[in-house]
């Protein structure tokens, strides 16, 4: 800053000050690179769910390829080639991915991104003829690693992997009931699930009606075994 003489336009005084300003917010490049990393990590994680007993399921792989295509069409930051290469690399490894490592990186992403990663993993499994015990266990681990809320995980699993898609009844996976719960806790959960599924018995979608009937039957069985038996 300078003070100038009116008459002679001479500089009478001058002062300088250096101000250091740091902006921690992501710029365009940072945001773009961040989204690309999240998309690649999501696909790498889900690729592990496309392989069962060392063999990749083409239907499951196609689910991921379609996801990549849609993602790159609606997002200016997604790179189709880069993400596809990530998928191919994961599949070449026989689906052997370090889920915990990937999830640790994804935990820094937005909640919606973590939900999207969990959802894609379930969609990959839904392309198989049946959902096996090992797949359910892996999905549970991924949900834990990503810090997905139990209620959110249950809602997603019931929607994407309904009861009829499993090789056996897993009440923890499809109902949220586990052995650590007390009879009162199980009763409360079952009452909540009953209200939800009873309201869907008359759903316009026949598939939803069938699922609702199956869930109500299961709820009755679990209630008889874990609640009424304790009275």
Closest CA to 61 of 53, 71, 52: 52
Task: Specify whether 37 is located in the same domain as 137.
Answer: yes
Among candidate residues 145, 168, 191, the one where a domain is terminated: 168
Task: Specify whether 142 is located in the same domain as 190.
Answer: no
Closest CA to 64 of 46, 80, 76: 46
pTM of the model: 0.80
* Confidence class for position 34, pLDDT limits 50, 70, 90: low
For 135, the domain range is 30-168
* Confidence class for position 92, pLDDT limits 50, 70, 90: confident
Tracing tokens 């609702």 back to the chain, one arrives at 212
Task: Specify whether 137 is located in the same domain as 87.
Answer: yes
Among candidate residues 168, 186, 208, the one where a domain is terminated: 168
The tally of domains found in the chain comes to 2
Closest CA to 148 of 124, 175, 121: 121
Task: Specify whether 110 is located in the same domain as 158.
Answer: yes
Residue 21 resides in a domain: no
Residue 5 resides in a domain: no
pLDDT over 90 (residue 45): yes
């Amino acid at each position: 800053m300078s003070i100038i003489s009116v008459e002679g336009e001479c500089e009478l005084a001058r002062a300088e000050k250096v101000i250091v300003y740091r902006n921690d917010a992501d710029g365009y490049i940072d945001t773009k690179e961040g989204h690309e990393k999240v998309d690649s990590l999501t696909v790498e994680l889900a690729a592990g769910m496309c392989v069962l007993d060392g063999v990749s399921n083409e239907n499951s792989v196609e689910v991921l390829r379609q996801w990549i295509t849609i993602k790159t069409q609606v997002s200016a930051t997604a790179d189709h080639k880069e993400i596809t290469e990530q998928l191919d690399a994961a599949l070449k490894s026989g689906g052997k991915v370090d889920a915990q490592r990937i999830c640790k990186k994804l935990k820094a992403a937005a909640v919606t991104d973590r939900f999207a990663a969990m959802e894609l993993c379930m969609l990959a499994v839904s392309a198989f003829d049946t959902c096996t015990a090992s797949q359910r266990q892996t999905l549970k681990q991924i949900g834990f690693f990503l810090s997905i809320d139990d209620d959110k995980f249950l809602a997603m699993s019931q929607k994407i992997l309904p009861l009829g898609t499993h090789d056996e009844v897993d009440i923890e996976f499809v109902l949220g009931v586990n052995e650590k719960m007390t009879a009162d806790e199980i009763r409360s959960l079952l009452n909540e699930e009953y209200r939800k599924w009873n309201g869907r018995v008359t759903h316009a979608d026949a598939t939803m009606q069938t699922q609702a009937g199956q869930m109500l039957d299961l709820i009755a069985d679990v209630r008889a075994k874990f609640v009424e038996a304790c009275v």
